[in-house]
Structure 1
């Protein structure tokens, strides 16, 4: 018979990301952030490859990334409105953790499983931050998918990608609840 953890289940059933633009200071310091990273690193990882890593982006780094976003967006011909929105993702932030997908060569573990593990790290970090009482949000944006930005602004190696920027801070105002999926419409029961 399983041993239920009702508090954990209730948290997962009611968890809610907080819009990054509503997050402000204070943000977790290194001592408060380390347990969140530790929780995220407990993500399923077939083959124990650790096909992901963290880049903690503090305020000065975020401001540098905002400037890099503006410059790279202009060079890449991104629409000015899209650039402006993307710049705000960094310039308005006080702390974000970039979760980097860093696949390892493996004959047994396909790259897609390693990529999925990196996405699971994003969700685990997001949930750990929320469970610790912080506001948090998982963002990407065109910058996460731009190879030049990844290489020049974040220093990523060939083959590394950004799975997400997890913004963490103090929530200014709780957003209203949003509609949730209709489980009947997305669930198939296979009985034979």
Structure 2
């Protein structure tokens, strides 16, 4: 997904300012795409130049005028064209998994400590995500919203939460694995039968 199509997608459902759009990127959209205002505003300018969106100014007392953006018919056509294309599988970049891959260079205790630190951060992230989803659902119920966007966005966010739970479970299982393989970390040697059992357990449990 490009930022351009993400902006068109957001504006397909409502009229919004750049700040409003940033709030969306900090909310539901944050689970699959990150962007900041320094990226959003230039892309909005390009979209308007290409005729995919248009803007209007709203006068405000005591502060700068507010610019609101809406999608055009050409913008809707571009969005539908993009949505209709076959999706490509995501190419993942994960700094912590990269670190974990080489943690054989650390002691067993240090490896477990790094996993525990990550586990704590992951749990805090998961707690915040659950709180955001609960708050959002409460707001939806209060306003009695019935919208396709609300339903599909909730499904996407729920999927993201499930992925984070799996990541947390992985961190816990990996700590147990290191504990069981502590002799390998401490002496560089281990009974092969036990080593093979651990390999099998990795494939069966992860």
User: TM-score over 0.5 for the alignment?
Assistant: no
Larger radius of gyration: 2
TM, length-normalised to structure 1: 0.22
Q: Which has the higher contact order (CA 8 A, sep 6+)?
A: 1
Normalized per residue, the structure richer in strand is 1
Normalized per residue, the structure richer in helix is 2
TM, length-normalised to structure 2: 0.22
